């Protein structure tokens, strides 16, 4: 879809199709994994600051831990949005798909 929106010629479409398929999509996946790893670290740190237990394994992860993690993640996202930091996290995505 992005290829057809930005292309003006057949060669432009082909180049953009190859770019989005083999360069942009893998880089977006890598960026998503880095973002998720960083956010899981931040969420576990905030949970520790709030005095919530951070389970050491998945077998100890109960329903209350899931609810606490979801609420803490939502709180971190709202704080990032409030302080206008969330838009900076989307800059790599905008750069990759603006070609």
Q: pLDDT digit string (tens) for 35-68?
A: 999 999 999 899 989 988 776 666 677 788 888 8
pLDDT of residue 5: 81
pLDDT of residue 7: 83
The model's pLDDT over 1-47, given as tens digits with 9 standing for 90+, comes to 878 887 889 999 999 999 999 999 999 999 999 999 999 999 989 99
pLDDT of residue 58: 65
Q: Which helix (H) or strand (E) holds 88?
A: helix 86-89
The label of the residue with tokens 């930091």 reads 85
Give the domain ranges of the chain.
26-97
- Give CA separation, 91 vs 31, 53, 75, in Å: 11, 34, 22
pLDDT of residue 80: 94
């Amino acid at each position: 879809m992005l290829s057809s929106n930005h292309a003006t010629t057949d060669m432009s479409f082909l180049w953009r199709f190859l770019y989005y398929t083999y360069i942009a999509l893998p880089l977006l996946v890598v960026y998503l994994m880095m973002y998720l790893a960083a956010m899981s670290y931040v969420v576990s740190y905030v949970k520790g600051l709030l005095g919530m237990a951070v389970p050491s394994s998945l077998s100890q992860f109960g329903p209350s831990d899931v609810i606490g993690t979801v609420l803490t993640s939502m709180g971190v996202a709202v704080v990032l949005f409030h302080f206008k930091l969330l838009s900076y996290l989307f800059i790599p995505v905008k750069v990759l798909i603006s070609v």
